[in-house]
């Protein structure tokens, strides 16, 4: 017993030294929280009730898609951003005429239609689509410039002004007046003239007019188009064709047939209506075909949606006239 007592004391002393040196048994968990500590669940941030979540069906809210502006007006903020982007340019001056489109990226892209002029004596003005990138800090820079003729063509350099060619008018007055007379025959969409891009002397006068157009159906979004107006020597005016601009402001290839007779409205592919309302009664429609006719005449009436209509050649069919084209539809029966 006396021999065991010193042994017990030695073991106790060793254990005390090990504890003082920070030794812990390997079985003791290392990462467990202390009993007096509380762990709180991590909550994900929720959008406020006032925030509207992006609609996956609405391309205008998705990054990467261009959208036409609701208004072409160059406001003070957009003018300021344009000035910051162009302040270092030398040799050419750019005056923004219309703000046409935007694209949400990491920041934002913008498209302006501008009147440009080289800083030389007797320089002839021309048009240019100026593309600007604005980052998240408000810094802006030009990313592209595309020269556009008054007739809506994208070219590499400004075209020389020749006799009989298109020229830029000094004012919008005469072009707007001709457009106002010509648009009286248009149906299916409303057109607001923005700027007379060009004029061309022929046996009378041609005008190219930049317009904002909105189709006459609920929820229709604005777009931009160039309307070409011919005014004869007697002052009669008619629209001969359209060139639509895409959402980034670039002209879409003209699809007007070259053999469209003078005096007829252009054949322009419209969005097909799904129904018409006549005398308060709705008729659902199914598109069948487009007759080989390029103008409307002797129509029976106008539907509530603004479509000229006429009874079709067979029972249960109807002709719809929209922007100069006849379409034949079958009335859907319940």
Check if the beta carbon of residue 191 is closer than 8 Å to that of residue 212. yes
* pLDDT score, position 121: 83
Q: Which two tokens stand for residue 89?
A: 């340019």
* pLDDT score, position 310: 74
The architecture CATH gives domain 60-155:
Roll (3.10)
Q: Is the dihedral of CA 247, 199, 227, 173 positive or negative?
A: positive
Return the domain boundaries, the chain.
Answer: 60-155, 173-245, 275-331
* pLDDT score, position 29: 41
Q: Which two tokens stand for residue 119?
A: 């800083």
pLDDT digits (tens, 9 = 90+) for 220-279: 888 999 999 999 999 999 998 899 998 888 988 654 444 444 434 343 344 556 777 777
- CA-CA-CA-CA torsion for 102, 269, 153, 132, nearest 10 degrees? 0
* pLDDT score, position 227: 92
* pLDDT score, position 185: 79
The alpha helices in 190-297, defined as continuous H runs, are none
**75-111: buried (b, 16+ CB within 10 Å) or exposed (e) per residue?**
eeebeebbeebbeeeeebebebbbbbbbbeeeebbbb
Q: Which two tokens stand for residue 120?
A: 């030389």
* pLDDT score, position 328: 72
pTM to 2 decimals? 0.59
Q: Which two tokens stand for residue 12?
A: 């106790």
* pLDDT score, position 219: 76
* pLDDT score, position 99: 96
* pLDDT score, position 164: 66
Distance CA 232, CA 273 (A): 34
* pLDDT score, position 171: 92
* pLDDT score, position 215: 82
Residues lower than pLDDT 50 in the chain = 17, 20-61, 255-270, 292-295
């Amino acid at each position: 017993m006396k021999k065991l007592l010193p042994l017990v004391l030695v073991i106790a002393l060793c254990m005390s030294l090990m504890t003082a040196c920070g030794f812990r048994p390997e079985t003791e968990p290392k990462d467990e929280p202390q009993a007096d500590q509380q762990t709180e669940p991590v909550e994900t941030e929720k959008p406020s009730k006032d925030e509207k979540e992006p609609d996956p069906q609405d391309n205008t809210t998705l990054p990467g898609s261009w959208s036409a502006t609701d208004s072409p007006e160059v406001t003070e903020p957009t003018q300021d951003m344009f000035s910051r982007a162009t302040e270092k340019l030398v040799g050419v001056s750019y005056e923004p005429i219309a703000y046409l489109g935007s694209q949400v990226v990491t920041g934002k892209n913008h498209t302006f239609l501008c009147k440009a002029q080289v800083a030389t004596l007797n320089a002839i003005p021309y048009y240019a689509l100026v593309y600007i990138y604005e980052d998240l800090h408000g810094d802006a820079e030009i990313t592209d410039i595309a020269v556009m003729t008054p007739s809506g063509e994208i070219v590499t350099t400004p075209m020389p002004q020749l006799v009989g060619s298109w020229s830029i008018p000094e004012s919008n007055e005469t072009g707007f007046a001709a457009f106002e007379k010509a648009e009286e025959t248009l149906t299916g969409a409303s057109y607001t003239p923005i700027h007379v891009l060009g004029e061309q002397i022929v046996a009378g006068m041609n005008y190219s007019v930049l317009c904002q157009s909105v189709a006459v159906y609920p929820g229709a979004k604005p777009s931009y188009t160039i309307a070409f107006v011919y005014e004869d020597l007697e002052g009669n005016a008619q629209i001969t064709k359209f060139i639509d601009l895409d959402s980034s402001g670039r002209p879409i290839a003209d699809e007007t047939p070259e053999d469209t007779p003078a005096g007829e409205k252009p054949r322009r592919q419209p969005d097909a209506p799904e129904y018409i309302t006549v005398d308060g009664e709705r008729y659902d429609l199914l598109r069948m075909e487009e007759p080989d006719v390029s103008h409307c005449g002797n129509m029976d009436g106008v539907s509530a949606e603004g479509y000229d209509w006429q009874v079709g050649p067979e029972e249960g069919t109807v002709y719809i006239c929209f922007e100069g084209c006849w379409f034949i539809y079958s009335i859907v029966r319940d």
